[in-house]
Amino acid sequence: MATHFIIDIETMGAKSAASAITSIACVPIDFDNLQDFDYYMKNGFLAKINWVDQIKNKTHVTESGTVDWWKRQPLDAQNKSIVPHSTDLLLHDALERLNKYVRSFVDYDFKSSWFWSRGIAFDFPKLEYSFDICKVSSPINTFMLRDIRTMVDCFTGSTNGRHLLQTPPANFVK
């Protein structure tokens, strides 16, 4: 069976495919061998990205509603997602690292590895735009996109794509 992946990005905009990306997270999923939260934290991919550089280079944009939304989030979430740090990667470098990370899995296959996100209309258009504008090869096959909300609804009886954990894992930041 192919290795599949769950991807989540944080951005400074919600509507535009050119929204500045502040971070990219990706974890491998083997549905026959699911792991605990700590495993995914240790073995997943995370890149905090210099979104200010994207604005300066006029390749990406911010949206005032999203900027205002971030200002209302807990300081821990802001610090991990939007507050600039000297270790932030340039978007091009983060996408190169993501590409290398995905392709490092022996069971990754461009034609059969699914890529999941919470709604395929948000993360994937922004990633596709960014891979294109940065001229980085994407490991994501658009025919293999999947929406995790559908799976959540099917397995939990939810109708809104959300399943609230009774006890969130340690180090979990909403």
Name which of 24, 4, 30 is nearest 134 in CA terms: 24
pLDDT at 147: 93
Strand partners, 10: 23
| Sheet with 21-29, edge to edge strand ranges | 45-48, 21-29, 4-11, 115-117, 145-147
Could you tell me if 49 and 23 are in contact, meaning their C-beta atoms sit under 8 angstroms apart? yes
> Is 90 exceeded by the pLDDT of residue 165?
no
- The length of the chain in residues reads 174
Q: What is the pLDDT of residue 126?
A: 98
Per-residue pLDDT of 50-107, as tens digits, reads 999 999 999 999 999 999 999 999 999 999 999 999 999 999 999 999 999 999 999 9
At 127, the pLDDT band (50, 70, 90 cuts) reads very high
Residue 159 has pLDDT above 90, yes or no: no
Q: Which amino acid is at 78?
A: Q
Q: What is the pLDDT of residue 13?
A: 97
pLDDT for residue 27 = 95
Q: In the beta sheet, which residues pair with residue 19?
A: 61
> What is the model's pLDDT at position 84?
95
Mean of pLDDT values over 7-26: 97
Is pLDDT above 90 for 161?
no
Q: Are 44 and 37 in contact (CB under 8 A)?
A: no
Q: What percentage of the chain reaches a pLDDT higher than 70? A: 93
pLDDT at position 172: 61
pLDDT at 149 over 90: no
Phi then psi for residue 100, to 5 deg, are: -65, -40
What is the longest distance spanned by two Cα atoms in the chain?
45
Tell which residue, 141, 103, 94, 117, has the closest CA to residue 3. Answer: 103
Answer whether residue 158 shows pLDDT above 70: yes
